[in-house]
Every structure is written in C-alpha cells, then in structure tokens.
Structure 1
C-alpha cells in the first residue's frame, strides 16, 4: 500500500486530561474516521520514538494511528515537583518516593480517549507502553477493542528481566549535552538492538536529536521506571482480559527477556504470540510492514467479532 498518500497531521495537545488533569501532546496519522489505534511508548521514550514510517504503515492498512507523549515524556506534563525516587528504599518496599503508578498512566490514556471523543480504541504498547496497555485492558475493559503488547512483560519479576551487564556498561544517559545524548542513544541502540538488522545510526541520531529538542528531563525516566516497580505483577489480572490480543517479541531482546512476552501471551486467553529471530529491544525497519499487517489483521478480527 502507498504510504505516501497518508495524511500526517501536525502535533497537537489537549489540557486537563484524566483524573490528574494533565496536558498530553499527540499526533494523528491518516483518516480520523477510521479505526483509532493508540500507540503507547516505553519508559524514557517520547511519541517520536514511534517511527513516522511505522505510523504510516499502520495508516496504509486503513487504520488511524495516534501517537502521544506519556506523562513525564516529551511535551506532556512532567511531574518535576515529585520526590527524587529512592531506589534502595523502593527495592525494600518503601514506595514513598514513587509519584504515580501504571494505573495513573492508564487513566491518562483513557482521559485522552475521552478528550478525543472515543468510547474505545485499539491499543499498541511497546515495553512500558505494553504494560500501560495491559493495565488499561484490565482496569477499563470496555474501552479497549484489541491489545497489541510489544517487547513487554507481566510485571512478574521472574520473567522479562533485562541483561543487567549490558545496562551497567551503558551507564546513565547524559542530559547536559545534546551531542553526548545523541551519541549515548546510538550506543544504547547498538547494545540493545537487533543483531539480525543493521542499525541506521543516522535515523537514530535524528530521532534522538528531536527528542532532546522537545524535552530532556533527567529524572523523568526514573519516575516512570519506579512506577513500573510499584505496580507489581499483573499475571493473575491479565487472565481477565478477553479481547483479541497479539504479543510481539524479539528473540534477542536484552532489555525485556523474551520470557516476558511468553508470559503475557500465556496469561491472556487466546493471545497470539509472534517472535522474531534476531530482533532486540526495538522496532527494526525491515519488520514494520510485518508488524503493521499483523496488527491490522488483529484489528479486523476485533472489529468483526461479536462483543
């Protein structure tokens, strides 16, 4: 299908969203009259981390993708007045420095649905975004038509864990220099990316630079990460999810081990699990048409199945 004919709308924002009354920045692709697909990104990532080309692929299948910045990302509201997360205390069960949970982020997303006039949407979430999408499907089942969980996990600490040796070698991203931040993002993608698919360093640098220019809050990703920890294990609650579900995971994912994806698929009755050899913690460009086709097929099934 011809992605060149798909309309790309400008970035917009809406205020007083959800119970927390936050601002959310978002961008639409394609025809707003078509099936809405909310794209939910992961920790420390902005809506621009959903590649424009991938959004266009989805739109070319007769869908209406909407990507947006989560709280504490990009141009959406940042919780800068929140306490600095105390990881040592959090690991011992003291959550007093955790400002919010995945349930709060789920409520933000449902608030965006309300603001844009949708009773229900299709959800596609990557990494932490997959966890948020799962939480919405659990807590707001009538607002979700289908669920696609990409490179994500259940919250069970025995599965879906990162390779901590890789993370230790990366260190923390620098937030005091634009070029250093871009270089770190390239280094990160090389370490966590896909051994089967060559890294497009120019494309990574372009998105990293755009992300820096939109926002570079040094504590935002930490606040999101501890929200994941506090939210705990969703496995049993996921058994209540009855909507058409697709789980996509890379077999070489060093950020969320593939056992996390398998656990999500095992917890949701009827979920389809699709794994890709040589895919890491990213959305490799050669696989965009495959992902888009599988998501579109899921959505078509959801739209035609009796509720």
Structure 2
C-alpha cells in the first residue's frame, strides 16, 4: 500500500518546533479547525495536518482488491513525517488519531517529542468491543471501559436503518446531525459553523463513502498492542478530555493513569469535537506542552 498518496499541508516556518496533527477515524485533516491551527502556528509551531487514506484529498482504495489494516493507517503517519523532512515531531491525536499517537509512542519513541491525546481511548483497551456492546444493547463486563452516552447510542442505531443520502443536501444535513451529537450538550452548538465545515468536507472529498473502509480496516487485523503497553510510553504526555464527552466518557482518565507522568486536562463543556469555544484553551495547553 505504499503507492497510496496522502494529502498534507504545513503551516508556520520550517525552523519552528514541529507539531503533527492526527485526526480520528473516517475524518479529514480539516477537522483540525483553521483557527486552532492558526493559534498553534502563531505560537511558533510548524504545524502539519493531513487527510487519512480514503478521506478528503488523499487517495481512495478499492478495499475488496487491496485491503489494508489500521497498521497501514499508522504507517501513513511515518510517511507524512518523512514527506515534511521530519525525523520526529510533537504528536497531537484526536479520537482514533490519539490511539495512533499512543501506538507510535510505544513503537518508535525516538519519533515522538511529546504526545497529546484528545478525546481518545487507551491503547489496547477494547474500545471497539465497548462500542459494539453499547450499540447492540449488551451489558459491559466488569472492568471494561465506560460505554458511550445514550444520545450517541440512539443516533448511531438510527443510522443502521437509515437509507443512503439521496443528494448533496441530504448528505450534508446528515453530517451536521452527526456533528451535533458528537458536540455533546455542554456548549452551544453553532449550526452555521457546522454547515460551513461539512460543506467543505463534502466538496473536497474524492469519494465520501470511501471513509467507511476505515471500519473494514479495523476488522482486517489485530494491530494494537496489549493494554499494558502504555507503561512503555516515555514521551511527555498530555491527555485532554471534555466534561461532556459523549463517545468515550472517562477514557482519558484511564490513559493518564497508565502512561507514566501523564497529565489529565479536563475541558469544561467540551464534547467529542473541537468547537471554537475551546480553541484558545486547548491551543495554549498544547503550546505549553510542546515548548522546547
């Protein structure tokens, strides 16, 4: 799969401290908001964001003839670093991007100057099984990670029965509805901003449906290390979790408890997305964490 072309872009001066932003599953790099990225660049960071394979302007893959796993998606992170001439960088990962950051911090500690994990689950913690049990109504066993909130479960159950969007308008309305659920209930939801973002996501996607291949990749191979691998993380680690996280509530505290010296930051009102209300607080925390 080394022939897959990955779209990326950089901000700031090449001599600045490098920060690589890794977005979550099925998500384009522009879900790292421009304003937030700009705050990091203005703070003296060389910021890189990119589209995962099968999202945005990166190549799409015929999964039936050329399947891949999340190990391949993880290896794309190394390829982005190399494309920008970086031997190492501060990694900032959101949701599944945080899982990728954790794995790289274990696998290649020399590539990770620091790690910031946002709205994510612990490496090897069985996140996928927790989600499946929640969506199918099965109880979570003792010791499992906390399951998602009821609003999230209800919304994604409804998606299973919903027909595919008929046109651009219907697709964007569905994407806004999903963003509203992921936003959570702690802060006002800006529907106009959500519409602008999802219109941009729609317009720049080579094939919007290709992102579903990430779900197939999750079942194509056991890629992530056992849960006890987190004690091997040596990079200074900041774990960020919103007080109104609807998908992975309490998972950040688990990560912080397992990574030596990790610091947990709880952001008031934040859900699973990165709305404008939290940009300044989050950017300031990351700038402090990545200071060299």
* 2:189 is the alignment partner of 1:199: yes
Q: Calculate the TM-score normalised by the size of structure 1.
A: 0.80
**Is residue 287 from structure 1 mapped to residue 256 from structure 2 by the alignment?**
no
1:31 counterpart = 2:13: yes
**CA distance change for structure 1 residues 174 and 146 in 2, over 3 Å: closer, same or farther?**
farther
Q: Distance in 1 between matches of 2:70 and 2:24?
A: 11
Higher relative contact order (CA 8 A, sep 6+): 2
Q: Which deviates further from its counterpart, 168-177 or 190-199?
A: 168-177
Instruction: Give the aligned partner of residue 22 of structure 2.
Output: 40
Residue in 2 that maps onto 1:111: 79
CA contact (8 A) 2:55 2:208 kept: no
SS of match in other structure, 1:153: coil
User: Structure 2 CA distance, aligned partners of 1:199 and 1:223?
Assistant: 29
From 116, 125, 148, give the equivalent of 1:156.
125
| In 1, Cα distance between equivalents of 2:43 and 2:208 | 37
Tell me how far apart the structure 2 counterparts of residues 280 and 60 of structure 1 sit (CA, whole Å): 25
Q: 1:65 aligned to 2:47?
A: yes
Q: Give the aligned partner of residue 212 of structure 1.
A: 202
Residues 126 and 150 of structure 1 are in contact (CA less than 8 Å); yes or no, is this contact kept in structure 2?
A: yes
Partner SS for 2:7: strand
Q: Residue 251 in 1 paired to residue 243 in 2?
A: yes
Aligned residues between the structures: 268
1:222 corresponds to which residue? 212
What SS does the aligned partner of 2:260 have? Answer: coil
Gap change, CA 1:137 and 1:232, over 3 Å in 2? closer
Task: Give how far 1:298 is off.
Answer: 0.9
Q: Which runs of 5+ in 1 are unaligned?
A: 1-18, 85-97
Q: CA deviation at 1:201?
A: 1.1
Instruction: Give TM-score scaled by structure 2 length.
Output: 0.84
| Corresponding position: 1:188 with 2:178 | yes
| Residues 181, 208 of structure 1: 8 Å contact kept | no
Shift of 1:139: 1.5
Equivalent position to 2:104, from 136, 151, 155:
136
Q: What's the counterpart of residue 166 of structure 1? A: 155
**What is the aligned partner in structure 2 of residue 74 from structure 1?**
56
CA distance in 1, matches of 2:50, 2:276: 20
Matches of 1:173 and 1:132, distance apart in 2 = 32
Aligned to 1:239, the other structure's residue is in SS state helix
Deviation at 1:161, TM superposition (A): 3.8
Q: Which residue of 2 aligns with 1:5?
A: none
Q: How far apart are 1:277 and its partner, in Å?
A: 3.2
Deviates more, 1:284-293 or 1:162-171: 162-171
Structure 2: 5+ residue stretches without partners: 127-143
Report the CA distance between 1:50 and its aligned residue: 0.9
Select the residue among 216, 235, 243 that pairs with 2:227.
Answer: 235
Report the 3-state secondary structure (helix = DSSP H, G, I; strand = E; otherwise coil) of the residue aligned with 1:231: coil
Query: Closer, same or farther in 2 for the Cα pair 1:266/1:240, shift >3 Å?
Result: same
SS in 1 for 2:6: strand
* 8 Å CA contact 1:235, 1:264 repeated in 2: no
Quote the offset at 1:123 in angstroms. Answer: 0.7
**Contact 2:103–2:225 at 8 Å: present in 1 too?**
no
SS at match of 1:27: strand
Q: Distance in 2 between matches of 1:31 and 1:290?
A: 23
Aligned with 2:250: secondary structure?
Answer: helix
